[in-house]
């Protein structure tokens, strides 16, 4: 199994990263919390990975920290929470904050997350509260930020953000509505996605 990749970022199209590792291109899907930590295209990055092997595909998921990967692995063990929903959840909240919500039995906080209803929130608490007792909120972020985090302005930030939200599980109409009122001027697609996800959480208050 592939547990870590070190290579150059070729493209960043949330939630997918194309990473050149010694001439081999790896397609890696990552939560937005990891995207926020990535350096610019062309820079070196280190990603911790989790591999999922299915009959029809072999999928790689990448994370900026061990906390993120560990939480992802906990999530996908829960009945009804597959890799896609796990990525969506970790795109809307940090692993540390998710652990806090679970430990405090904060159903209200959990249902604000994209794709999480009350039943799923309750299931997360019941099944994870004992598993994450030793979760370390401030565990070091991996060496993924081998260069300073610097994000360039992307002209088509809106379309890229919409594509990413659809890839994270939102319907096209819903994704379009989420970014419609966001000022995308001088913002990267990652910025737009972050604001869109925040708007969903705010709307559920």
Measure Cα distances from 180 to 2, 47, 188 in Å. Answer: 39, 32, 15
- Helix, coil or strand: residue 123: helix
Local structure of residue 145 (DSSP, 8 states): -
pLDDT given for residue 155 in this prediction: 39
pTM: 0.72
Q: How far is it, in rounded angstroms, from Cα 121 to Cα 105?
A: 9
Q: 80: phi > 0 → left, psi -120 to 50 → alpha, else beta; which?
A: left
pLDDT given for residue 151 in this prediction: 33
Structural domains of the chain sorted by starting position, each given as residue range(s) with its CATH number in brackets: 4-63 (2.40.50.140), 67-128 (1.10.150.20), 157-203 (1.10.8.10)
pLDDT given for residue 25 in this prediction: 97
In sequence order, what DSSP letters do the residues of 24-87 get, joined into one string?
A: EEEEEE--HHHHTT---TTSEEEEEEEEEE-SS-EEEEEESBHHHHHHHHHHHTSTT--HHHHH
pLDDT given for residue 134 in this prediction: 67
pLDDT given for residue 164 in this prediction: 81
Dump pLDDT digits (tens) for 21-55.
999 999 999 999 899 889 999 999 999 999 998 88
Give the bridge partners for 9, in sequence order: 19
Q: Which residues of the chain have pLDDT under 70?
A: 134, 136-156, 201-205
Give CA angle at 144 (64, 112), nearest 5°: 25
pLDDT given for residue 141 in this prediction: 42
């Amino acid at each position: 199994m592939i547990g870590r990749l070190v290579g150059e970022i070729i493209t960043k199209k949330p939630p997918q990263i194309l990473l050149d590792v010694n001439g081999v291109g790896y397609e890696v899907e990552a939560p937005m919390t990891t995207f926020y930590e990535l350096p610019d295209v062309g820079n070196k990055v280190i990603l911790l990975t989790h591999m999922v092997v299915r009959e029809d595909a072999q999928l790689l998921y990448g994370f900026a920290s061990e906390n993120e990967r560990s939480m992802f692995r906990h999530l996908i063990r829960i009945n009804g929470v597959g890799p896609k929903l796990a990525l969506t959840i970790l795109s809307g909240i940090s692993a540390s904050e998710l652990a806090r919500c679970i430990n405090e039995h904060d159903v209200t906080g959990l249902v604000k997350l994209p794709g999480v209803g009350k039943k799923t929130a309750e299931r997360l608490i019941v099944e994870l509260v004992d598993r994450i007792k030793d979760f370390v909120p401030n565990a070091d972020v991996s060496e993924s930020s081998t260069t300073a985090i610097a994000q360039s302005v992307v002209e088509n930030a809106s379309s890229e953000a919409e594509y990413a939200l659809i890839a994270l599980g939102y319907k096209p109409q819903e994704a379009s509505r989420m970014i419609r009122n966001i000022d995308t001027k001088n913002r990267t697609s990652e910025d737009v996605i972050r604001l869109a996800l925040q708007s969903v959480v705010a709307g559920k208050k």
